[in-house]
Amino acid sequence: MSKSTQPAGPRPYGRGTGVPDPVDVHVGGRIRARRLLVGMNQETLANRLGLTFQQVQKYESGANRVSASRLSQIAELLGVAVDYFFIGLGGEDGSADIRDATAREHLQRPEAIELIRSYYAIGNERVRRQFLDMIKAVAESQRR
């Protein structure tokens, strides 16, 4: 969309508003989730990118936009394709399904990432399945 065809009036988010663009927040959240999933802290990622950890914090919060070249570097360091950071961004109409958004929010919590890492660290598939069954049983008992 060219500048002449953009709607007039102030934007509710983005540069100069003090409110991060929702796409930047989404991408930043995906960076954070993947970084935690691979067991990397902000300082390590920052050092590998030649940045300060504060800059990584700003990327992860969506306060600063990540350039395409920087996102490519981050993807390589975290072992994913660039499109990983855009998964779940929204449907065809640009709106995300609320249940999916809630699930993504839960999966980005540090304890959820730690649980997933620990789960897959269990080498015995049978034991891993028993552990999953136990978690399901506890969760079901809490719903009653």
pLDDT tens column, 104-130? 677 778 888 888 888 989 999 999 999
Range of the domain at 58: 19-89
Encoded tokens for 7: 């709607």
Mean pLDDT of 58-82: 95
User: In which residue are the tokens 């988010």 written?
Assistant: 13
- Is pLDDT above 50 for 29? yes
Q: What is the pLDDT of residues 64-74, one digit of tens each?
A: 999 999 999 99
Position 100 in a domain = no
Separation CA 39–CA 23 (nearest Å) = 24
∠ Cα 144 112 72 (to 5°):
145
In a domain, 27, yes or no: yes
Q: Is residue 2 part of a domain?
A: no
pLDDT of the residue at 95? 47
Q: Tell me, yes or no, whether 85 and 134 share the same domain.
A: no
Both 79 and 115 in one domain: the answer is no
| 24 and 83 fall within a common domain | yes
| Nearest one of 80, 99, 93, 92 to 27, comparing CA atoms | 80
Cα gap 19→56, rounded to integer Å: 18
**97 and 91 Cβ atoms separated by less than 8 Å:** yes
Domain containing residue 49: CATH number: 1.10.260.40
- Does residue 9 form part of some domain? no
For position 99, what pLDDT does the model report? 55
Regarding whether 23 and 54 lie in a shared domain, the answer is: yes
Q: Residue 40: inside a domain, yes or no?
A: yes
Count of domains forming the chain: 2
Going by pLDDT thresholds of 50, 70 and 90, the confidence category of residue 93 is very low
The pLDDT of residue 91: 54
Quote the pLDDT of residue 49: 97
Residue 4 is classified by DSSP as: G
Specify the DSSP class assigned to residue 107: H
Instruction: Identify whether 67 is part of a domain.
Output: yes
pLDDT of residue 116: 87
Average pLDDT of 82-102? Answer: 67
Q: Is the pLDDT of residue 19 over 90?
A: no
Task: Report yes or no on 5 lying in a domain.
Answer: no
Strand extents, DSSP E, the chain: none
- Asked if residue 125 and residue 74 are part of one domain, the reply reads no
For residue 3, tell me if it sits in a domain: no
The sign of the torsion formed by the CA atoms of 35, 114, 103, 120 equals positive
